[in-house]
Amino acid sequence: MLFERNTGSETKAIAQIFNNTVATYKYYWFVSILDIVVKEQRRQISFWEIIVGMVAEAWYPIHYFRLNFGKSDSFYNQIIEIQHILNIPINAKKSDIKKSILTNLNTPRIKSILNVFKLNVPYRFLSPWIKYTTDAQVTIQSQSYANNCLYAINGESIQINPKWEQFLNDNYLILRDYTFWNLTDFIQKRNPNVPDVPSKLVKPISRESLTKHRNFWNTYIDLKGSIQCIYTGKELFKKEYDLDHFIPWSYFTNDSIWNIIPAEHIANILKSDNLPMLEKYLKPFAKTQHEALKYIYTKNPNNIILEDYLTIHDSISELIQLSENDFMHVFQKTFTPMVQIAENMGFKYWQNSI
C-alpha cells in the first residue's frame, strides 16, 4: 500500500498536484508545508513562512550545483539576489537560511523579491480540488474546504484541513520522496546533460571518505618520492597535499579516481568549485594520471579503485599501454564536454594567480 490510511480520494488528489507544472514552485511549496505541519505540528501557516521554507529547500541545488529550473521559473535569480543582499553562506544550514530571511522579512527589498511566490502558487496548488478561476474564487471555496481540499486560504495564510492532518503526518516521508521524484523528473528535462540530478536536489549529510583515493596517490608517491602540483609546480610529499577534484564535485558529484589529483593546499582552496583551464592544465593532469595508473596497475591489477577508469575506457590493461598522446586524447574526450556543459550552467574558470 502506497500510503498509510489510504482513502483513495486522498491519493488521487495528491497524484494530480503536479499536473501541468511549468515551474518548480509547487514542488517546493508542498515540501515546505509538509515540513511545517509535521516537524512543527502546526496547521495555521503564513504564506511567508512557506515561501521562506521554499527558498531554504532550493538554496543548495541553486547555489552549489547551479541547476537550471527553466525559463518560467524565477527561483534562481531571486535566491541569488537574496544571498547577495543578506550575505548568507551558500553552504548554510536550512535552519540558518530560514532564520536570516525571516529576521529580514520586513526589509522592503527582501519582501519584494519573495512577493512573486505568493501571487499564484497558493491558489493554483489547489487545482486538484478546486478548478482555478480567480484567486478570490479559489479563496472563497477553500474556506469551506470544498471537495475536501488540502487547506483553506485566509488572507496571507493557510489552514490545513483537519481531515488531511493525520494523513500528512502518517505519510510524511513518502509524500516528500514522491515530491522529489516528480521534481527530479522536472529538472532533469531542463538539465539533460547534467549528471546525477537526484543527488543535487538535497544537501548530503556528509561526503564519502577519500581514503582509498589518498592511498592510491600515496602508493605512487612512495615510488616517486614526491609528485608535482599541476597548478603551482610545487613538489608534494605524503601527508602534505590536498585531493583536488579536477572537474568540481559540485558539477560531477562523483569521486572517480580519474578526476582526482594531489594539489597544494592553497591552490585547492583557491580553485574551490571553479573549472580548470583545459588548455593549461589537462596535459599535465593526464600525464600524472597516466603514470600513476600504470604503476598502481602493475603493482596490484585487482585494486578495486582502478574500476573507476572503466567508465572512460573499456579496458584498463589497454589504457595503460596507450601512448602519452593517446591517453591525453581519452581525457580530452572525457573532460571537454563536461567543462563546456559546466560553463553553460554558470561555473567559472579558475584564474590562477598563485
The Cα 257–Cα 303 span in angstroms is: 12
Please identify which residue in the block is written with the cell numbers 544571498.
Answer: 83
Angle between helices 25-39 and 172-190 (to 10 degrees): 160
pLDDT at res. 7 = 53
Q: Could you tell me if 104 and 88 are in contact, meaning their C-beta atoms sit under 8 angstroms apart?
A: no
Q: What is the pLDDT of residue 208?
A: 79
So what's the pLDDT on residue 197?
A: 87
Q: Average pLDDT of each block of 10 consecutive residues along the chain (354 residues)?
A: 52 85 93 96 96 95 85 86 92 92 94 91 95 95 96 97 94 94 92 84 76 96 94 94 94 91 96 95 97 94 93 93 96 94 88 80
CA distance 147 to 129: 6
What pLDDT is attached to residue 259?
A: 97
Give the pLDDT score at 205.
61
Domain assignments of the chain as residue spans, ordered by start:
9-200, 211-345
On whether the pTM is more than 0.85, the answer is no
Q: For residue 6, what pLDDT is reported?
A: 47
pLDDT at 316: 94
262 forms beta bridges with: 243
Distances (CA, A) of 74 to 38, 62, 80, 136, 298: 28, 11, 10, 24, 53
Which helix or strand (DSSP H or E) is residue 331 part of?
helix 324-345
